[in-house]
Amino acid sequence: MKIAIAGKGGVGKTTLSAALARSLAAHARVVAVDADPNNCLGRALGFSESALEEIAPLSEMKERLAERAGTGEGGSFFALDPRVEDLLGRFGVEQGEITLLVMGTVDEPGAGCVCPESAVLKALVRHLVGLEELSLVMDMDAGLEHLGRGTAQHVGALLIVTEPTTASARTAARIARLAKGLGLRVPGVVLNKASSGKAGEQVSAYLGGLEVIGTLPADPQVSGSEVVPEAGAYVKAVGDLRKRLSTWLDSEDV
C-alpha cells in the first residue's frame, strides 16, 4: 500500500499516519515519510530523541545531492544511484519494520519555499513507490504544499481526514477536488474523533459526495500521549481501516 494523508490542520493526519504505518508494518516493510515541515511523525511513531537527532533532513542533504548529481535535480541523482537500501540508509532512520524519512524543517522564518528539497523528495518517493515490496505512508502538511508541488502525485492515492465539523469537512471536499484534478485517486474520507455513530451525519452534507471509508473514535489514550498508543479503540479501528484501504487499492489497481 502506498498512500498519502491530508486534511485540515489538527484533524489527526500525523496520528493516523503513525498508526497506519504501524498497522502495515505487521505485514510488510514500511517507509513513513514526514512531509510536514513541523516534523511530528517520528515522535508519534515513538522514535527516540537520539534516533531523531541522527536524521539528516533532506533539506540538509541537498548540497551533497547536488554534488553527486552534478546538478541540483534530485532526479538525476537517483538515476546515478538507484539502490534503495543505500538511499534509505542515508536519509532514513529505522525502527523495526518502519523507516522514517524526514523532509526537513524550514529553519528561517518566512523561508517557506522548499522547492529543492521537494524535488529531492519527489524523486525519492517516485523511486520508493516503484518498489512493490514496500508500503509507504506520507504525512502531509495542512497547507497542501506537496499537493501543489506534485510530491504526493507519485504516491497515487490520497486519504483525507476530517473531524466531525463542517469546517474540516468542507476542507476535505476541497482537497478531494484538488487531488482528483491532479490525477490522484481518493479512496474516501476518514472521519476522526467521532464521539458517536451519528458523527458522520452531521457533516455528510459538506463532504461533496466523498465516501466515508472509515470512522475512528475519539480515544483519550490517543489525545493523552505524544506517541500513538500500541493498542486500544483507535488502534483497532485503524486496523479495520487498513483492511478496507487494501481492498479499495487492490480493486483500483493503484
Q: Which residue, 61 or 138, is less far from Mg ion as judged by CB?
A: 138
Indicate which of ligand ATP, Mg ion, none lies near residue 247 (CB less than 5 to 8 Å, by partner kind): none
* Residue numbers 11-30 binding Mg ion by CB under 5 A: 13-14
C-alpha–C-alpha distance, residues 135 and 133, integer Å: 7
C-alpha–C-alpha distance, residues 87 and 79, integer Å: 12
| Residue number, nearest CB to Mg ion | 14
* Min dist. Cβ of residue 13 to ligand ATP (A): 4
Asked if 192 touches Mg ion (CB under 5 A), the answer is: no
The dihedrals phi and psi of 36, each to the nearest 5 degrees, come to -100, 125
| Residues sharing a CB contact under 8 Å with residue 111, sequence separation 6 or more, in sequence order | none
Q: Nine-digit cell at 13?
A: 493526519
C-alpha–C-alpha distance, residues 205 and 131, integer Å: 39
**Which segment (7-15, 27-35, 60-68, 222-230) binds Mg ion by CB under 5 A?**
7-15
- 195-224 mask for ligand ATP (x: CB under 6 A)? ---------------------x-xx--xx-
The dihedrals phi and psi of 142, each to the nearest 5 degrees, come to -65, -25
Q: Which residues in this chain contact ligand ATP in the complex, by CB under 6 A?
A: 7, 9-15, 36, 38, 40, 142, 192-193, 216, 218-219, 222-223, 234
